[in-house]
Amino acid sequence: MHSSDAKTARTMVEAVSVEAGKSSNATPRRRRAIKLDTGDLVLQAFSYLTVGLFAVFCLLPFVMMLSASLSSEAEIRRSGFGLFPKDFTLAAYQYIFNAPQQIIGSYVVTVVMTVTGTAIGLFVIAMTGYALNRKDFPFRDHVSFFIYFTTLFSAGLAPTFLWVARVLDLRGSYLAVFLQLLMTPWLIILMKNFMRTVPYEIVESGKVDGAGDFRIFAQLCLPMMKPALATIGLFLALSYWNEWYLSSLYLGSTVEFKPLQYHLYNLINTANALRNSVAGSNVSITDLPTNTLKMASAIVATGPILLLYPFVQRYFVSGIAIGAVKG
């Protein structure tokens, strides 16, 4: 074995044993060299290479956007995008931030919605997922189907809009967006599926101790579900963060501060809408930095989530702290 290979092997052994040790109280803690064949090494190398390449594939367009957002509009118009800014300028960002109270307001609206929505939604989803996974819950199939059915059969845009806007009278209210994003069938079923990893013995031991169903869920199961909660919480947070469609239907221009993504979407689409449209005849477009503006808006919208991500990721790596039987 070459020294570098040996090092890799050692790192790996350590990693495995650390995780094994952490993961399992049932199995005795042991530090033993597991067999490392060339297959492992090939797999390792292949993994680094593929993941690395795919990451670059995902990153490159982003770099292009970043550089475009920092280029001058005239240069972009002349020669398109590149990997490095052409004729560096912050004009696009200035345009986005030139009414700072607007973008700050949007940030506040979005952050508040995302945080509270994720917290409330996650709790409800976890609760439902837990109940639906309980094998002794006689209505689990009924309720599952009741929830799943909504993905198969939806009223569609117009009837839903008429209902929410005219009957619930929620148009023009942030609630229309906030409530509709609280949960999706997909996340509930996903949560139910994650709950399978909680062994039924835990539930039973809780019952033996005289705990009620809700206490078993809140005190015994939830703490074991960190990766699931992190995953689904991330998805929920993303859907709040990325939301613009419901905002466009239910908020439109009725609110002073639009959710962030909808605010940016509007910035991007205003220029598009005015061009080649009948309406454009009446409006003078004041030198909007169209291309660079689009790109800068994407950067502004994405930045904060990038900062959030490593924080969430901690939970994935921690794994589920049990070594019991699979559910």
Partner 1 sequence: MAHEDSPRRRKSLLRKVVDSRILLLMCAPAIVFFVVFNYAPLPGIWIAFTNFNYRDGIFGSPFVGFKNFEFLFKSGQLWMLTRNTILYNLAFIILGNILQIAIAIMLNEIRLKFFRKISQGVMFLPFFISAVLVGVIAFNLLNYDTGALNALIKQTGGDPIKIYSTAGLWPIIIIMVHLWQSTGYGSIVYFAAIMGIDKGLYEAAAIDGASAWQRIRHVTLPSLKPTFIILVLFSLGGIMHGNFGLFWNLVGNNAALFQTTDIIETSVYRMVLSQNNFTTSTAVGLYQSLFGFALVMIANGIVRRINKDYALF
Partner 2 sequence: MNRRRVLAIGAAMLALGTSSASMMSSAFAQDAPVEITMLTMGNKPTNGRLEAMLEKLNERLIAQANAKLNLFYIEWADWQTQYNVQLLSGDDNVDLVATATDWLYAWENAEKGAFLPLSEDMLKTHAPKTWAQVDAAGHWDLTKLADGNIYFMPEDNYTQYTNHGFFYRGDWAKEAGFENGEITKFEDFTKYFEWVKANKPDAYPWDVAGANEAALTGYMQGHTDFQTLQGVSAGNYAPFQTKASDPYTITSWYMEGDALIEAAKLAKQWNDIGVWREDALNYDGDTREEFYAGLTGAEQHHTQTFVTQIVHNMNAKQPGSDPKFYYWGEENGNFFKDIFTHGAMAVSTYSRNPEKALEVYDLIRNDKENYMLFNYGIEGEDYIIREDGVLDRPEGFDSSTMSLDTNYWWGRMDEFEPARTTDAPNKAELIDELNATAKDYPYSTLIINKSAIEPTLAAMAGVLSEYIPQLQYGKFEDPAAAVAEMREKLAAVGYEDARASIQADIDAWATARGLK
Q: Residue numbers of the site for partner 2 (CB under 8 A)? A: 74, 77-78, 99, 102, 158, 161-162, 165-166, 168-173, 175, 179, 248-249, 252-253, 265-288, 290-291
The angle that helices 260-274 and 100-133 make with each other, rounded to 10 degrees, is 120
Task: Answer yes or no: are the C-beta atoms of 277 and 117 closer than 8 Å.
Answer: no
- Closer CB to partner 1, residue 98 or residue 160? 160
Residue 1 binds what, of partner 2, partner 1, none (CB under 5 to 8 Å, by partner type)? Answer: none
- Closer CB to partner 2, residue 144 or residue 290? 290
Tell me how far apart the alpha carbons of residues 279 and 8 are, in angstroms, rounded to a whole number: 64
| Residue in the block written with tokens 């019952």 | 207
Copy the structure tokens of residue 290.
């169209």
The answer to the question of residue 55 lying near partner 1 (CB under 8 A) is yes
- The minimum distance between CB 319 and partner 1, in angstroms, equals 5
Tell me how far apart the alpha carbons of residues 161 and 259 are, in angstroms, rounded to a whole number: 19
| Contacting range for partner 1; rule: CB under 8 A; set: 96-104, 159-167, 252-260, 278-286 | 159-167
Tell me how far apart the alpha carbons of residues 200 and 325 are, in angstroms, rounded to a whole number: 9
Tell me how far apart the alpha carbons of residues 41 and 316 are, in angstroms, rounded to a whole number: 24
Residue 29 binds what, of partner 1, partner 2, none (CB under 5 to 8 Å, by partner type)? Answer: none
Map residues 243-282 to x or -, x wherever contact with partner 1 holds by CB under 8 A.
Answer: -x----------------x---x--xx--x----------
The answer to the question of residue 171 lying near partner 1 (CB under 8 A) is no
Segment 77-96, which members bind partner 1 (CB under 8 A)?
Answer: 79-82
Residue 285 binds what, of partner 1, partner 2, none (CB under 5 to 8 Å, by partner type)? Answer: partner 2
Residue 283 binds what, of partner 1, partner 2, none (CB under 5 to 8 Å, by partner type)? Answer: partner 2
Tell me how far apart the alpha carbons of residues 85 and 222 are, in angstroms, rounded to a whole number: 48
- The minimum distance between CB 290 and partner 2, in angstroms, equals 5
Select from 1, 46, 108, 169 the one that contacts partner 1 (CB under 8 A).
46
Map residues 119-138 to x or -, x wherever contact with partner 1 holds by CB under 8 A.
Answer: -----xx-xx-xxx-x-xxx
Copy the structure tokens of residue 22.
């952490």
Tell me how far apart the alpha carbons of residues 36 and 57 are, in angstroms, rounded to a whole number: 31
Segment 210-249, which members bind partner 1 (CB under 8 A)?
Answer: 212-214, 217, 227-228, 230-231, 234-235, 238, 242, 244
Select from 91, 109, 113, 182 the one that contacts partner 1 (CB under 8 A).
182
Copy the structure tokens of residue 24.
């399992």
The answer to the question of residue 305 lying near partner 1 (CB under 8 A) is yes
- Closer CB to partner 1, residue 101 or residue 196? 196
Tell me how far apart the alpha carbons of residues 19 and 41 are, in angstroms, rounded to a whole number: 19
Tell me how far apart the alpha carbons of residues 235 and 133 are, in angstroms, rounded to a whole number: 20
Identify the burial level of 55 via C-beta atoms within 10 angstroms of its C-beta, where 0-12 means exposed, 13-18 middle and 19 or more buried.
exposed
Residue 204 binds what, of partner 2, partner 1, none (CB under 5 to 8 Å, by partner type)? Answer: none
Copy the structure tokens of residue 79.
């020669």
Tell me how far apart the alpha carbons of residues 77 and 276 are, in angstroms, rounded to a whole number: 18
Residue 274 binds what, of partner 2, partner 1, none (CB under 5 to 8 Å, by partner type)? Answer: partner 2
Q: How far apart are the first and last CA of the chain?
A: 40
Residue 81 binds what, of partner 2, partner 1, none (CB under 5 to 8 Å, by partner type)? Answer: partner 1
Residue 309 binds what, of partner 1, partner 2, none (CB under 5 to 8 Å, by partner type)? Answer: partner 1
| Among 296, 290, 307, 306, CA closest to 67 | 296
| Among 316, 291, 312, CA closest to 95 | 291
